[in-house]
Structure 1
Amino acid sequence: MTTPAPLLALSDYAIRFATPDGTVKAVNGLDLTVAPGETVAVVGESGSGKSQTFNGVFGLLARNAETSGEAVFEGRDLLAMSQKELDTVRGDHMAMVFQDPMTALNPAMKIKHQLAETLTVHKRVKRRAAEAEALKMLKKVGIPEAERRIDQYPHELSGGMRQRVVIAMALLCRPKLIVADEPTTALDVTIQAQILDLFRDLTSEAGTALVLITHDLGVVAGIADKVVVMYAGRIVEEAGVDQLFARPAMPYTAALIRSIPRVDREAEAVEPIGGRPPDLIHPPTGCAFHPRCRFAEDRCRRERPPLEAVEPGRRAACWFPFVDDAAGGPAPRTETAGA
């Protein structure tokens, strides 16, 4: 049986920002694939490069940014495209759900006009038909009283409903890839669960590939097929979700898991990660995590470990993978881990 070609493939992908203080090495030599219908969670602390990675894929970086490498989507390198060429891909074939729906919605336009515009621009659908399709999509994402809500402005909706509107907007063109950047941040846990259920249904029913960007490993436990852990602009571990939760290979991954509050453990069992993320203008030598790693040895301080296979289905960038096992490590994942 042949393996299908990746929908999205990043190869030696890097992003640099020129600043008065020096060059910020935001993303460094990423190799990452997303298969059709796959759900990939990209996790890590703030500043690890998660959002910038995919802002670059969509051509949404600041003017002082420079990209290199390849970002191939359906056989075409997005980094080599002009903005006009990107416009034929964005929205139609791939879509992004932004973290703050108020920045993604026009406060001066009614919801129905913003949703309909997606179809009139990308699919050349007539306005009346586009508004009818928009209403159907609002109902599908669970907006209550959709007939009334579609005629309102963004400020008249709750945060959870605005997030659903943004998701509906991303889905209207039936894209093959959706990138959701912290879609559950600032939402209560009930709405979080509903939105994650919605994403799960979409990937299973429509075969849409989903990249879920988050700082919280807990929210992806029940939805992701694969988890990519980023630190200091690099991938430090990649594994199937069950593999990663049961036995993390990289000490940083283990530290992230230990920092998740869980209902089956005492509050004292939650361990914050000490220290600060590294300066990306002057990153540390060797493994970037070594100043915060309790298992660091001299080699970790001198040499940067490559991202390589450490067991079937798993890559890790660590000279001493699975060292956390000797220290007790995180408890195996249970059904409550991602609650």
Structure 2
Amino acid sequence: MHPETKNDALLELRDYSITFATPDGEVKAVSNMNLSVRRGERVAIVGESGSGKSQTFLGVMGLLAKNGRTSGQALLEGRDVLALKSRELDHVRGKDMAMVFQDPMTALNPSLRISRQLTEQLEVHRGFTARAASAEALDMLKRVGIPDPSRRFNLYPHELSGGMRQRIVIAMALLTKPKLLIADEPTTALDVTIQAQILDLFNDLTAEMNTALVMITHDLGVVAGLADRVAVMYAGRIVEEAPVDELFEVPAHPYTAALHASIPRPDQDVDQLAVIPGRPPNLQHLPKGCSFSPRCPMVQNDCIDVSPKLEILAERHSAACFHPFPRREEVLNHG
């Protein structure tokens, strides 16, 4: 957590952990995370599948599986949402914070028309009348780029394309004007053209409403034009956090550098793509030292013995690495 984020933080995770009870023992999906999201800020959470990025925010939303348990604090405007009773959380969830999922069909009721699913949000969370809710919902459908919204307003989810369903889910999430919007891999199932449109939509609408956005993705490439700041997760921990431009220009952690190298580029042949060797660790049997050490090309003895803590390298740039890549100014100063 960086000093300047404390006073104006909308969301603060403090020593936040998530564990799952399984027949084979306890699995620690998220370990002692500290992260702040400021009002109106756009933060990307990046990492491979199984890194804990989605579970982190399912826990904040109170949507973990029954065998999951959170500890620490998740403060939304200073109020610990982890300590709320289910009825209190229902009021906060949807009104103050909302989530957009990778598969819109998990968020849409297949047996209800789109109109009812949208207007219900406004009637429950903002006290709208049925008529006022319909007018507001139709206006939001226009804003998210649904063609001929009056006709599609009364369709069922299965009558819409995947891209349109995702726009409906975004509209549903934004109708209550949440202070925090969490988007969990919202473009993965869409083709490249629709992906770009959806990312532009997030960019425009969150800026217009001053909504803080947390974008969860495994693809570092999608965050370049969207995020203000990026937190990179590996094996349930944040291993690097920095402003987006700095993360791309001077990645400090070998894992971040490997993710960056694996982004496809138009001037590269497919057989030139870099891959990260090995597999993410088993969360029940993490290595003694740095979790990335078995896959790291820079590994040294201290990496194997001790787990590095997230340390500040420069203003707003932290990494959990004993041997971070040198920053450009360090190379120039010692060159």
In the other structure, the counterpart of 1:168 is 171
* Correspondences of 1:13-162 after superposition (within 5 Å): 13-162=16-165
Unaligned segments of structure 1, at least 5 residues: 326-339
In the other structure, the counterpart of 2:194 is 191
**Mapped contact 1:9–1:31 kept (Cα < 8 A):** yes
What does the per-residue CA deviation read over 1:164-192, in whole Å, with 9 as the maximum and x for residues that have no partner?
00000000011111000001011111111
2:325 to 318, 322, 329: 322
| Corresponding residue pairs, total | 325
Q: Distance in 2 between matches of 1:207 and 1:88?
A: 21
Structure 1 residue 208, shift from structure 2 partner: 0.7
**Mapped contact 1:251–1:324 kept (Cα < 8 A):** no
What does the per-residue CA deviation read over 1:15-49, in whole Å, with 9 as the maximum and x for residues that have no partner?
00000011111000000000000000000000000
**Mapped contact 2:5–2:36 kept (Cα < 8 A):** no
In the other structure, the counterpart of 1:272 is 275
Q: Tell which deviates more after alignment, 227-236 or 184-193.
A: 184-193
What does the per-residue CA deviation read over 1:287-335, in whole Å, with 9 as the maximum and x for residues that have no partner?
000000111111100000000101222010000001699xxxxxxxxxx
2:224 to 221, 238, 246: 221
In the other structure, the counterpart of 2:333 is none
In the other structure, the counterpart of 1:335 is none
Unaligned segments of structure 2, at least 5 residues: 329-335
Q: Give the 3-state SS of the residue equivalent to 1:309 in structure 2.
A: strand
Structure 1 residue 2, shift from structure 2 partner: 10
Structure 1 residue 266, shift from structure 2 partner: 3.7
In the other structure, the counterpart of 1:334 is none
In the other structure, the counterpart of 1:239 is 242
What does the per-residue CA deviation read over 1:257-280, in whole Å, with 9 as the maximum and x for residues that have no partner?
111101133434421111011000
Amino acid at match of 1:39: R
**Mapped contact 1:237–1:253 kept (Cα < 8 A):** yes
In the other structure, the counterpart of 1:260 is 263
Q: Distance in 1 between matches of 2:287 and 2:6?
A: 38
**Mapped contact 1:97–1:167 kept (Cα < 8 A):** yes
What does the per-residue CA deviation read over 1:238-269, in whole Å, with 9 as the maximum and x for residues that have no partner?
00000000110000000001111011334344
Q: Distance in 1 between matches of 2:58 and 2:6?
A: 28
What does the per-residue CA deviation read over 1:83-120, in whole Å, with 9 as the maximum and x for residues that have no partner?
11111111111110011101110000000000001011
Give the CA RMSD over aligned residues: 1.5
Q: Structure 1 runs of 4+ off > 4 angstroms?
A: 1-4
Q: Give the 3-state SS of the residue equivalent to 1:72 in structure 2.
A: strand
Q: Distance in 2 between matches of 1:62 and 1:31?
A: 22
Q: Give the 3-state SS of the residue equivalent to 2:102 in structure 1.
A: coil
Output the TM-score relative to the length of structure 1. Answer: 0.93
Output the TM-score relative to the length of structure 2. Answer: 0.95
**Mapped contact 2:103–2:189 kept (Cα < 8 A):** no
Aligned-pair identity (%):
64
Change (3 A) 1:275 1:323: farther
Structure 1 residue 148, shift from structure 2 partner: 0.7
